[in-house]
Structure 1
């Protein structure tokens, strides 16, 4: 009887569930009765979430850029689900590589795409058979910068824009199988990201050469201050997770949905303003005014 009840519970797999937004979403969905599986980066993350969830969340250490590791994790999760299939996949894992495009090492840009795009693709494709069985849903955590790229945020903006395109393609290709694809366009959030972002910004500033600092130091400093302020004023962890849970359960599934009032406003302006006006807005948002 217990095995039958387990199969009837909705199931969700979450990448990047060891911390930040993914952790909060995992806790909320487990509290709602979902069987929650996820990826983490460290044993400490696993132990902390196991304690916080009362053992209701099952995490595995997985590097999503390693296709073999992804395949092993997906096989483990689908084995637990038997023939029931996976109801929801939340693509949340991601990294941020800020800095002037002229300064960022090409390997760092490639790494951003490996995690944010190619790792996500590997996870989605590996879970598709299980999602087909349940006619499930994919919720991809993107960003408003996928539609409104910001200076000094090039790799992240570009990778999020790529996810926007892939979401459209997947949605069309998966429609015959009854699989929904929802793009969550996140704004600034206080879910553990601001501290990581601040550290990443400082690393870039510290590693600039004197020549690079002369070219970009002042502008990048203004961007750093503006981004830290925006993230500090962003949507709280609880509210951010609630919004994602709502996207998991909304019927019918939305195609795209902003997460946060700032994202809603920016995406509205993207639809309404000219390219020249959007360029001016980009500079204003990162503290560069009319430069």
Structure 2
């Protein structure tokens, strides 16, 4: 008899933006979808949008007890077949000069972008081993090309790149694939949030900080807002990540968006000095 087992996927940050679009598309293609959300409205919305094929839970991935409870609940429903795919998608962006940003804000970014993801991955490993499944981490091109005034995000995504390589080696004996999706600018709801965050940082600067960084940060703000507004659509971004979810054999890395492809190519081809010059151009301190 043919194998009728339904494919399963768990997605963090599935209530909005890229996570929601991936959940919708995977549910439409036959996956049983589980995920985390940040509000009851997000849970209700996706349940209706997928006719019950996607089940979200209210989970803060930085709360280990909440993660454990969610994964245990999902694992019971999965049974002995395990989990086919885990997409570690949840993330935040904390822009600003490193000297200006509170250390607590930097730590929060690492808690969400790195440590929260680690907590979810480790909790799901028994279910992933059972299915010899796949982990897809949503990184960023800034993990390979950190940019000024985007330090916490760049640093946390760089750490995620290393974590992906380590997991890939450590989990190979269990048949688990680990894929890094290196995202460029995406119109996934992030641009509006980024614009607000950028404005808040500028408004919170002291006169001394504004004298030091104000002009360069304003140049960076204009460049980031412009880049994100022209980035890959949320639906197209979801399609590309799903390609990485289903590609056989599993890729090690894959760019999401033409800008990511271009930046990652330059990182491979350019010298450190040339890359530094590119960074300075982003904040108006280099030659155009």
- TM category, shorter: over 0.9
Assess if the C-alpha contact under 8 Å between 1:226 and 1:287 holds in 2: no
4+ residue stretches of structure 1 with deviation over 4 A? none
What are the within-5 Å matches in structure 2 for residues 225-236 of structure 1?
Answer: 225-236=222-233
Change (3 A) 1:7 1:83: farther
Given the alignment of the two structures, is residue 135 of structure 1 paired with residue 132 of structure 2, yes or no?
A: yes
Distance 1:35 1:239 in 2: 21
Q: CA deviation at 1:282?
A: 1.5
Question: How many residues in Structure 1 have an aligned counterpart in Structure 2?
Answer: 287
Q: Secondary structure at the match of 1:93?
A: coil
Change (3 A) 1:44 1:287: farther
Q: Under a length normalisation based on structure 2, what TM-score does the superposition of the two structures give?
A: 0.97
Instruction: Give unpaired runs (5+ residues) of structure 1.
Output: none
Greater CA deviation, 276-285 or 62-71? 276-285
Q: CA deviation at 1:52?
A: 1.8
Aligned residue number for residue 15 of structure 1: 12
Aligned residue number for residue 85 of structure 1: 82
Aligned residue number for residue 190 of structure 1: 187
Aligned residue number for residue 45 of structure 1: 42
Aligned residue number for residue 287 of structure 2: 290
What are the within-5 Å matches in structure 2 for residues 191-270 of structure 1?
Answer: 191-270=188-267
Q: Which residue, 114, 122, 126 being the options, matches 2:123?
A: 126
Describe the superposition over 1:64-123 as per-residue Cα deviations: whole angstroms up to 9, x where unpaired. 000000000000111111111000000000000000000000000000000101000000
Q: CA deviation at 1:49?
A: 1.4
Aligned residue number for residue 154 of structure 2: 157
Given the alignment of the two structures, is residue 69 of structure 1 paired with residue 71 of structure 2, yes or no?
A: no
Q: CA deviation at 1:7?
A: 7.6
Change (3 A) 1:105 1:236: same
Q: CA RMSD in A?
A: 1.4
Change (3 A) 1:287 1:8: farther
Distance 1:286 1:36 in 2: 41
Distance 2:222 2:260 in 1: 19
Q: Under a length normalisation based on structure 1, what TM-score does the superposition of the two structures give?
A: 0.96
Distance 1:180 1:10 in 2: 16
Assess if the C-alpha contact under 8 Å between 1:7 and 1:81 holds in 2: no
Distance 1:14 1:244 in 2: 12
